[in-house]
Amino acid sequence: MKKIDLALKMRETGVVPLFYHPDTDLCKQVISACYRGGMTIFEFTNRGDYAHETFAELVKWGKKTMPDLVMGVGSVVDAGTCSLYIQLGAQFIVSPLLNEEMSRVCNRRKILWIPGCATASEINKAEELGAQIIKIFPGPSVGGPAFIKAYLTPCPWSNLMPSGGVSPTEENLTEWFNAGVFAVGMGSRLITKEIITSKDYQKLEQVSRNAVEIIRKIRS
């Protein structure tokens, strides 16, 4: 998928679930549940030993079982790790910070690069480096929806995706999308410890579906 097509797909879906676990089979269950719920873009977070090996297996499995699934990687902080995951099939790279070297790696390969920013100056710098979507991180700590709304007033061309502190509730999602976000990233408030402990993947599917429908309703 072309970088621009992926960005548009991300906007259309409106939400990117993010998750890491060392158990590959558990990851497959989580990804499948989110996918069935309409979340066809998934961010595997780069945490833990041998995370890249887990990701490589998930990418191969995903291509065979869910052809519409788009897999990317988050929590990447340096160019070397960025290159590694691109080689393993990552279609987008998300970072909690702004690293110019990563922009060069991703731009050379036409891979969607989503750097993490917390200030107006960082967002501006990231866009100068070619970022089409900016991760606002950590979302609530930098000002939440109020920051998004305030920033987009003078800079309406920016595509902002908050991560951290986003919940799959109508109240929370309405607040973020009314502020003007491009999409949102959701981790532990979507894929909760309770769901993982109880292995209630049917519940995860339903919560994912509800969140996607809420976003569609807000945007309609």
pLDDT digits (tens, 9 = 90+) for 81-134: 999 999 999 999 999 999 999 999 999 999 999 999 999 999 999 999 999 999
Render pLDDT for 27-49 as a digit per residue (tens, 0 to 9): 999 999 999 999 999 999 999 99
**Would you say 45 and 19 are in contact if contact means Cβ atoms under 8 Å apart?**
yes
Q: Which of 16, 28, 26 is nearest to 168 (CA)?
A: 16
Say whether pLDDT at 66 is over 90.
yes
> CA–CA separation, 154 vs 151, rounded Å?
6
pTM: 0.96
Q: Which of 98, 95, 28, 85 is nearest to 51 (CA)?
A: 85
Say whether pLDDT at 159 is over 90.
yes
Helix (H, G, I), strand (E, B) or coil at 98: coil
